[in-house]
Amino acid sequence: MRSLTIACVSTAIFALALALAAPARQITGDAVPNRYGAALVRCGGGFDLSRVDWIAAQHEVPYWAHRNRAGATVSVFGPAPAMIGAIALADFGDGDTIDDATLRARERLAAAVLVAIAAGLVVLAV
């Protein structure tokens, strides 16, 4: 059991280090709904992206969004990326501001931790 625990923890640490060491890439427009969705989830606003002023001001729905049956503008990627992104904004509340570099650092850390947990669970499953 001890060797299994050591293998699980070391795999998780290795995965975390790799995820954090990987070079950061420029984000695309596809990341926008997930970033705003995460902020909306954290601020208790649900998944309706039309709460974001510049999205609501557009006459057409952006290519990375669609209207659901309730008429809300939501991400085509579904709610999961926004919920995962909300982990990075755990201390974020309605009316708070955050600069882009800090947000990207938080997103990166949250993603790296999730990769490390997944790697550890894979070792446990094997």
Task: List CB contacts of 49: < 8 A, sequence separation 6 or more.
Answer: 33, 36, 37, 40, 55, 65, 72, 73, 74, 75
Q: How many helices (H) and strands (E) does the chain have?
A: 5, 2
Per-residue model confidence (pLDDT) at position 12: 83
- Determine the Cα–Cα distance for residues 16 and 55; give it in Å rounded to an integer: 35
Per-residue model confidence (pLDDT) at position 107: 81
Mean pLDDT across the stretch 40-44?
82
Residue 97 corresponds to which tokens in the numbers above? 């501001």
Measuring CA to CA, how many Å separate 23 from each of 19, 69, 114? Answer: 9, 39, 18
**Residue 56: pLDDT band by 50, 70, 90 thresholds?**
confident
Does the pTM of the predicted model rise above 0.85? no
**Residue 42: pLDDT band by 50, 70, 90 thresholds?**
confident
- Determine the Cα–Cα distance for residues 38 and 118; give it in Å rounded to an integer: 21
Per-residue model confidence (pLDDT) at position 102: 83
